[in-house]
Every structure is written in C-alpha cells, then in structure tokens.
Structure 1
Amino acid sequence: MLVRLANTPRNYAWGSSTLIPELEGRVPSGEPEAEVWFGDHPGSPALVDDAPGVTLDRWLPHRAGELGTPSRLPYLLKLLAAGSPLSIQAHPSKAQAEAGFAREEAEGIPRDAADRNYRDDNHKPELVVAVGERFEALAGLRRLESTRRLVATLGTGRGPAALAAHLEGADAAEALRATIGWLLGGHARAEVADILAVLAGAESAEFDAELRLARELARQHPNDPGVVVALLMNLVTIERGEALFVPAGVLHAYVSGLGVELMAASDNVLRGGLTPKHVDAGELLAVLDPTPGPAPLLPPRRVAPGIEVFDAGVTDFALTAVTVGEGALSVPFSGAAIALAVEGIVEVTGAGGDRVTLQPGQALLASPTESPLRVAGAGRAFVAMPGSPV
C-alpha cells in the first residue's frame, strides 16, 4: 500500500519565510516556515490522505497488522528550512535518554514543562542532506590548535585571555569540556561580555567566516555565552546532495539553508545557548562528546546510477537519494518507508501496483510489501527507511 502524507509547516522563529514555499511552488505565507514533519511523532504527526482528519500516529497502529509495519515508526523525516541559526544543542545516547527520562518521571516533572530535558526515553542521532545550493551549520568542536589561533585574533584583553587560558592543557577534549562548562555555568559573564565587545574589531583571513557569523549571533543574542561556544565549533557549508551526520553528544546548530533531515523518533534536546529556551549546562556537559575534530560529514554510497545511500550505521534510519531522468529506477527498502519529493515530478509505483505522483514537498508512506519502489519521471526524491540491524 502507498498512502499519501501531508502536513503543515511549523512556524518556529528561526524558520525561513521563503525556502519551503519556493520548494512547493506556492506564495509565501509571510510567517517563518521552519519544518514540515513526515512521520508519526506526536509532536506534529502527518495527516493520512485516505483517512481525512486522521493523523499517522492514530492511523498506523490500527493498520500495522494488515500492512506488516510496526505500530510506531523508528524515525522522523523532515523538511528543514533555517532562515537564522537554531540553538546550539546536543542529544543523548540511548542509555542516557533512558536514565534521564526515568529520573525526570520519578521527579514528577511534566513532560511538556519548559525545564524538562528528557521528553522520551530515546536517543536522537540525526542526518541532514542539503536540498538547496548551500546549507550552513556549526557541527562538532574544532581541533584545538585551530581554535587557539582563532582566539588569538580577539586580542589580549581580559575575556580573550581567560578564554585562551581555559583552552590550555594536554587533553584537548577535557580542555574543551571545561571551557564550555565555564562559559555556560554563569561564572564567566564579565569575560563573555568582553569577548563579545571585541568581536566587532577582530579580523582574520583564516577565520573571516567564523568571525562574521559570531558578530551576527551576538547581534541576535546579546550577552549570550552561546556565541562564544559557537567560536569553538566547526563552521561548515555543505552543497546540494552532501550530508552531515550528528551522533549522540556532538554539539551542533544549523545556521541557514534548506535540507532534508532524518532522525530517530525523539524530542530530547540539551541546549547550549542561542535560544530563550531552557539551558541546563550541567546536563549538557553530562551528554557532551567534547572530542575535537573535523565536521561530521557523511559521504553517500553510490549503489547504482541515480541512487545514493546515506547509511550512518544506526538501526533507526537510513536514507536513499534518488535522482531520476530518463527511464525508471528501482529502489529497494526494508520496513515502512517514506518517500519525499524535492524537485521536479516523480511517479512512484509499488511492487503491488499502487502508483502515486509526487511534486516537491509531497510525501507518501510505503508498506514493506511495496518494495522495491519504481521511481520514474524527472526529479529528485528521498526515501527514508529503518536502518540495518547492528
């Protein structure tokens, strides 16, 4: 069975007012349109086309036996359009999520409370693939020798000197963990203010893009220590078809652009600044992986002409990118799959004969018996599915 899915954009403040409307070929609403969710997560479940007014989280459990699918999807697929930077954040591992969720349940913290850290007991690894020409992100902590060179461009005042001192040490990961704890723990307000003040005059050919972004972040988030945390992170731009994979504990913040995002079905976020929302510095440090290194790019595996697979090695999800022109492509999948068109017009036919035509921004759910999908037309689409068992 192939079933059309639809949803309305979520109007988060950081969303773009143009990127999703341009993709869908419609007039912008005038509001920021940040994300469109295609899945059964209760935060914004998709609508099922053949059951008017029924959401996928209500529909799927009743049809799971017939379709040969689980009653819940292990992943959540999104269109994400960043018009301004998202909060700096990290996500817990499965074990950390289970422990944190159980602890907050025992403490009686309402699951929708603003200061709740763990809204479910699942981890949230996530993958984002650029759909537009450019997608910019902060992802992972930069190698320490490079960060020390960046900090040197800020001068020798009180704030930069204190930051440089915290970044000293033989163990780079522990130096970074301690520095982030110092910045977010409330004991560095004067030093943060000093660093933000000298940003305006800082210059560096090597770190021009990083300093320009930091100045913009400081304008949007005055006195926020997250601006200084951002100076410790890799600034990376991926082009259309390239991907980032963010595993548990890795600091990240999407900055701008349109992408397809695929993640484990969870809403657990530990924030580290650039947001008016709750920041729990202690809990962020508890889940943080402070290991420095390059941005976590995930190259695709080309399995056939026009078909690339992004497999991050997690059981929750894998993503196949399909680019079709002449002829048709065969796309096998396991479990329940969601296909999302992002360019042109594609015709999707299941093994059982069901056929659905998708335009950009439109999606469908495919039951396992429809594998492989036959994708024809002229355009691009993504097919999300469960990952391979470990």
Structure 2
Amino acid sequence: MTNPFREYAWGSTAAFSRLFGWDVAPNPQAEMWMGAHPTGASLVEIGPGETLALDALLAQRPELLGASGQRFGELPFLMKVLSASKPLSIQVHPTADQAKAGFEAEEAEGIPLESRVRCYPDVHHKPELIVALTDFAALSGFRRHTEAASELSSVQALAEERGHGGPALREVLSTVQDQLERQDYAAALEYILASGQKQSAEAARALHALVQETETAPDRLGSAAWDTLTRITEHFPGDPGIFVAMLLNRVDLRPGEAIFLPAGNLHAYLGGAGVEVMANSDNVLRGGLTSKHIDARALIDVADTQVLDAPGCAPELVTRGELAYRPPFEEFALTRFSVEAHGDVKSRRLVDAPGILLCTGGKLTVLADPAGEGPAHVTLGPGESVFLAPGEAIRFGGDIGTTAYLASAPDAVQAGR
C-alpha cells in the first residue's frame, strides 16, 4: 500500500526518518494513515503499475470486507503511525450517538467537510489504542481529585516563592482547587476553558515565565509533573489548556506498552512515536494546545469528568513472538509479531475479516499460502504495509529482530493450516 501523511505542526521532518530510516521529509510529518477513510485512503496496488484507493476498492468489491466489515458497512478501523515531536491537542472523542448528532448538525449548518472548523467529518465514534514504538508520554483521563489539588498547591507555593504568583495565577489556582475540593471536574473544565478562559490564559503566561526561570525540577514537584509543565509551556506559553493538563493522569509508556482511549476520555499526547488503531473516524473535539480549531463548549459537553484510572492495555502472549492487544472495542484488535530465531516463520489466517500488516523493523517477507489472485509474495521494509483479504492464509518471516503489527477484527487472526 501507498499511505498518505498528515503534516501537522507537532510532527517533524526527521520523525519517520528516525523510525524507519527514510529520507528526511521536506515538511513536518505527524501521522501516516493506513486504511480507507475517505479523507485519506491508502492506495492499493491491484496490478502492475496500477493502484486504486482502498475505499474505492472496497466499494467495488464488498466481499473484501468480510463478515466483520460488512456488519459495519466499511473497513471498521483506521491504522496509523503517529510521531509527536511536541505536545498535541487536549482532545476528546464522541460516542456513536454524539458523533451522529454532531455530523447531522454540521451538515444542516452547511459546514463543508474540509472546513477547519468542522468537528464531525463522519458519523462514527473513535475509540483508539496506541502501542508505543519509542518512549511515549501522554495524559489520559482525570486523576484523583486529591492528587491534582496537591500538585496545584505545590505550583502555587513555588510561584509565590519565585515571585510569579500574580493575581491571575492566584485566582485560577484558587478557583480550581475549590472545585476539586467539591470533586467537581465538570466545573473546573468549564471554568478553565470557558467562563474563566481570559484569566486562565493570563495565568498560563505567568506559569510559562515561572518554568522558564526554573532550570531544574523543584523538589516540591515530581519529575513527571515538571516535565509536563516544561513541555507544554515551551510550545504553548499562554494556553489555558496547561491547567487542564495538570488535572489528568500522566502516563509514560515504554516500547511495546499500550493504552486504550474510549469515548469521553480527555487526553493529550506529549511526545513519542507509536502504532495507533482506531475506529474509522476522524471526529476530534479540541480544547487547547493546538493551532487547529478549538470548540471548548463541544469538548465540555462530551468529556467524561469522572475520575479515571489510566486505561492500560497489557498484551496477551499468544505464542513465542506474538502478542495480542485486545481493547474492549468491537471494531479492531492489534497483534504484534517479532522474529526471535532463525527460520521463525509464522502461518496465520484472517477469519471473515480483512487486515493491514505493517512492518516496523527489519525486512518482512510475506507469502500467500497458497498463492491466490494477488502476488505470491511481497517484501516489506520498515514503514511499509500490505492489505490482507478476508480468509487469506499467509506465511511470513524475516531476519531476527524483524517486527510487524497486524490490525484486524477481534479474534480474526488465527493459526494457519
């Protein structure tokens, strides 16, 4: 497949070069999309020198969706490689009902699908999973009220001590702490992003000045908390979203570790690279830390303001060199394969569902078993991918250390014949 890129400001020209050994890009690259989303479908080679967009191919040949895809009426998942060199937006994704209502409302208003102010370009919810390829830092879900209140208190004390405790910062921190004492994250979110947005922006500038003048992490704040403040204020010095960030769980992933994000989970990625799989949607409501369109009221309406533990997704060891990530979503699961010995060849078959196989390291040789209507074999280098039809039996292997990820429907990946 030939896959499109999204060139967002939080990407970099060298991100995919570092990941996959490619040439440095002329523009910042943030995401590589693999799938059939109409705003960024992959191109599939259907013959020598002939390609077709995957969404068009599936429309022509719906049998390639399998029973799983036909139940959704389309390829139900979108796979990405994401690489963030700086924090990206505080955001939330809607439920299926919220997505449908939002899409219909924006259609009725006549907002073009390609408009930058569009929040709902499709009718689907967007649960997602991300597996770290590098060390990966994220914020996910509101943490315990007492933890957030304690951190705000430490920041306030530090600001007063260093001469940055101006009236705006004192007012914002005091107001939010009062709301946390009442265990009311909904009120805190509304104040920071809406009714108190002007004060919060002024307070954010004061916080930026404090961080700039403090060279090392102060003892009163943990290293992770200080890292969050440093990363965000460096790139968004007057953004009220910094105060929302301080209310969320900090999650640090090592390569191979994962989190899943259901609808309503307020989150932001701070930096790192990973493989993402999500429902086939691009519905995102943003509340800060971005140059893109922000709709704070829409985000407030959708965000889950209950205390949430960071939703880790520990993989299940299927067999040697095979890990399965199974978040509680019906659209997709993800399997990681690694070659750990010479001659390690895996035989797998997709039952009633298509899949996308992505090589992330080494050289992966994929052979049809037996050869069908497509090519008998294909060799994938890092960052290259192939679309697999339902029922297709394949064998694949490579040099020791070769790694690959296979996205498909839950329980679709089974041992081959």
Quote the residue 1:163 is aligned against: 173
Match of residue 404, structure 2, among 369, 381, 385: 381
Is the partner of 1:375 in helix, strand or coil? strand
The runs of 5 or more residues in structure 2 that have no matched partner are 158-164, 413-417
Quote the residue 1:197 is aligned against: 206
Q: Mark the CA change 1:37 to 1:178 in structure 2 (over 3 Å): closer, same or farther.
A: same
Task: Verify the 8 A CA contact 1:153 1:204 in the aligned structure 2.
Answer: no
Quote the residue 2:20 is aligned against: 24
Amino acid at match of 2:138: A
Q: Mark the CA change 1:27 to 1:96 in structure 2 (over 3 Å): closer, same or farther.
A: same
The runs of 5 or more residues in structure 1 that have no matched partner are none
Inter-partner Cα distance in structure 2 for 1:263 and 1:204: 39
Shift of 1:223: 1.7
Match of residue 90, structure 2, among 70, 88, 91: 88
The C-alpha deviation readout for 1:275-318, integer Å capped at 9, x for no partner, is 12222222111111112233221101111111111111211111
Task: Verify the 8 A CA contact 1:313 1:387 in the aligned structure 2.
Answer: no
Q: Mark the CA change 1:67 to 1:31 in structure 2 (over 3 Å): closer, same or farther.
A: closer
Match of residue 184, structure 1, among 174, 179, 193: 193
Quote the residue 1:110 is aligned against: 112
RMSD of equivalent CA atoms: 2.3
Amino acid at match of 2:249: N
Shift of 1:27: 2.1
Shift of 1:213: 2.8
Inter-partner Cα distance in structure 2 for 1:275 and 1:11: 14
Amino acid at match of 1:255: L
Task: Verify the 8 A CA contact 1:74 1:316 in the aligned structure 2.
Answer: yes
Shift of 1:171: 8.1
Inter-partner Cα distance in structure 2 for 1:220 and 1:170: 27
Shift of 1:65: 3.1
Inter-partner Cα distance in structure 2 for 1:145 and 1:247: 24
Q: Give 4+ residue runs of structure 1 displaced > 6 Å after superposition.
A: none
User: How much identity, in percent, do the aligned residues show?
Assistant: 37
Aligned length: 382
Is the partner of 2:155 in helix, strand or coil? coil
Is the deviation greater in 19-28 or in 312-321? 19-28
Q: Which aligned pairs between 1:295-374 and structure 2 lie closer than 5 A?
A: 295-326=310-341, 327-334=344-351, 335-353=353-371, 354-371=376-393, 373-374=394-395
Is the partner of 1:54 in helix, strand or coil? strand
Inter-partner Cα distance in structure 2 for 1:283 and 1:344: 43
Is the partner of 1:72 in helix, strand or coil? coil
Amino acid at match of 2:334: L
Q: Mark the CA change 1:140 to 1:331 in structure 2 (over 3 Å): closer, same or farther.
A: farther
The C-alpha deviation readout for 1:170-211, integer Å capped at 9, x for no partner, is 887x61121111010052423442354144267345433322
The C-alpha deviation readout for 1:114-152, integer Å capped at 9, x for no partner, is 2222111100011111112x1111222222111111101
Inter-partner Cα distance in structure 1 for 2:5 and 2:299: 29
Inter-partner Cα distance in structure 2 for 1:313 and 1:67: 21
Shift of 1:261: 0.6
The C-alpha deviation readout for 1:43-87, integer Å capped at 9, x for no partner, is 211111235342111122213337746462100001111111111
Task: Verify the 8 A CA contact 1:101 1:119 in the aligned structure 2.
Answer: yes
Residue 263, structure 1, aligned to residue 278, structure 2: yes
Task: Verify the 8 A CA contact 2:36 2:55 in the aligned structure 1.
Answer: yes
Inter-partner Cα distance in structure 2 for 1:227 and 1:128: 23
Inter-partner Cα distance in structure 2 for 1:286 and 1:194: 24
Inter-partner Cα distance in structure 1 for 2:268 and 2:176: 23
Inter-partner Cα distance in structure 2 for 1:147 and 1:66: 48
TM-score by length of 1: 0.90
Shift of 1:382: 0.4
Inter-partner Cα distance in structure 1 for 2:345 and 2:377: 13
Amino acid at match of 1:101: F
Inter-partner Cα distance in structure 2 for 1:9 and 1:116: 20
Amino acid at match of 1:113: S
Match of residue 44, structure 1, among 40, 46, 51: 40
Amino acid at match of 2:59: P
Inter-partner Cα distance in structure 1 for 2:334 and 2:311: 17
Amino acid at match of 1:107: E
Q: Mark the CA change 1:145 to 1:356 in structure 2 (over 3 Å): closer, same or farther.
A: same
Inter-partner Cα distance in structure 1 for 2:289 and 2:203: 18
Amino acid at match of 2:389: S
TM-score by length of 2: 0.85
Task: Verify the 8 A CA contact 2:87 2:231 in the aligned structure 1.
Answer: no
Amino acid at match of 2:53: T
Quote the residue 1:152 is aligned against: 153
Q: Which aligned pairs between 1:218-229 and structure 2 lie closer than 5 A?
A: 218-229=233-244
Q: Which aligned pairs between 1:132-147 and structure 2 lie closer than 5 A?
A: 132=134, 134-147=135-148
Q: Mark the CA change 1:383 to 1:171 in structure 2 (over 3 Å): closer, same or farther.
A: farther
Shift of 1:376: 1.3
Task: Verify the 8 A CA contact 1:167 1:176 in the aligned structure 2.
Answer: no
Shift of 1:349: 2.6
Q: Mark the CA change 1:184 to 1:345 in structure 2 (over 3 Å): closer, same or farther.
A: same
Shift of 1:369: 1.9
Inter-partner Cα distance in structure 1 for 2:36 and 2:264: 25
